[in-house]
Amino acid sequence: MIRTCLRALALAALAIGGTVSAQTFTCPERSINYWQAFPPGGESDLSARHQQLVLKKLCPAIETVVQYKAGAGGALLWSQTNSLPADGVNVVGINLPHMVLQPMEGNVSYKTEDVTPVYWFHYTPDLLVVPESSPIRTIAEFIRVAKADPGRLNIGGSGLNSANHAAHERLDQYFGIKTTYVPYKGTGDMGLAVLGGHIDGAMTYTPFAIANKGKVRPLAVTTLKRSAVLPDIPTIDELGIRNFDATTWHGLVAPARTPGEVIATLHRALAATLADAALKKSLSDLGIDIIGGTPEEFAAYIRSEIPKWTAIVKASGAKLD
């Protein structure tokens, strides 16, 4: 139940890890429900909306309908993924390390191993920001204030047991400080709190700082190298905390029992979508780095995250619940 579309663009998809034929890729025949686990306005939603536009250009006979079921830091939707029809019509965006940390904490009804990968999209660096009106101007000042008055600084983030939450816990542990993490349903809700001055800052993502330039002050990125879109913002490593690397990885999964040929169709269409030069530039300008990868590569990466985060949580003694 698929229609073959001749597209020269499929060649470019090979460069980002797609398994697309040099001659063709296949469009899904039916419109797609693209489920999001966070409210509109966050990084996952930005990516989905960009893909929606390009997929419409490549496959004009179908629609990509972005749906939202936010709650519990993404766990509300992810716990229900495998109850969706396994026909390729319903696909679900996921985030890592969220999907590893949440089952470790134990209050969700899914396991990391339950997912059926379709495509490995990209990663987004974490970023510590404060409102532009804050008296805190550098990461060093942030640390001094936090040490002088433990627990006073309220730092927002997207969800519990998420990349933002984990980066916050590691920041506190590594610098020997105590700040209070305030979870929100997603970056959109968290952003309103930061811009309104209801919290002292946030552990968020690079697109938030770029979209709110002049309204928030980035203090530090959590990648090993400086961000290409925020080159003046130091890394945590530069303060002497080595190997502090915290990013969110985004991908797409399908309900269990989805036939392999349907997974392949979805993967090829998405590979061609993410090969679009305008889409790649628009995401890159937001600090979102496209990786691309096959279902097998994404599955292997997810498996590798389980022992990695298990070791980090055990070593740090962090309580993510």
Question: Domains in the chain, ordered, with CATH?
Answer: 2-122+247-316 (3.40.190.150), 125-239 (3.40.190.10)
Q: What was the pLDDT predicted at 9? A: 31
Tens-level pLDDT at each residue, the chain (321 residues): 333 332 323 323 333 333 333 335 778 889 999 999 998 988 889 889 999 999 999 999 999 999 999 998 899 999 999 999 999 999 999 999 999 999 988 889 999 999 999 999 888 889 999 999 999 999 999 999 999 999 999 999 998 888 899 999 989 988 999 999 999 988 989 999 999 999 999 999 999 999 999 999 999 999 889 998 999 999 988 888 777 888 889 999 999 999 999 999 999 988 888 888 998 898 888 888 888 889 999 999 999 989 988 887 776 665 555
Q: What was the pLDDT predicted at 177? A: 95
How many residues in the chain?
321
Q: What was the pLDDT predicted at 320? A: 54
The CB density around residue 237, as the number of other CB atoms within 10 Å, is: 18
Q: What was the pLDDT predicted at 239? A: 82
Residues 6+ apart with CB under 8 A from 254: 86, 88, 90, 91, 92, 116, 118, 262, 263, 266
d(CA 286, CA 193): 21
Q: Please state whether beta strands 247-254 and 154-158 pair in parallel, antiparallel, or not at all (unpaired).
A: unpaired
Q: What was the pLDDT predicted at 321? A: 52
**C-alpha closest to that of 187 among 220, 210, 221:** 210
d(CA 56, CA 303): 33
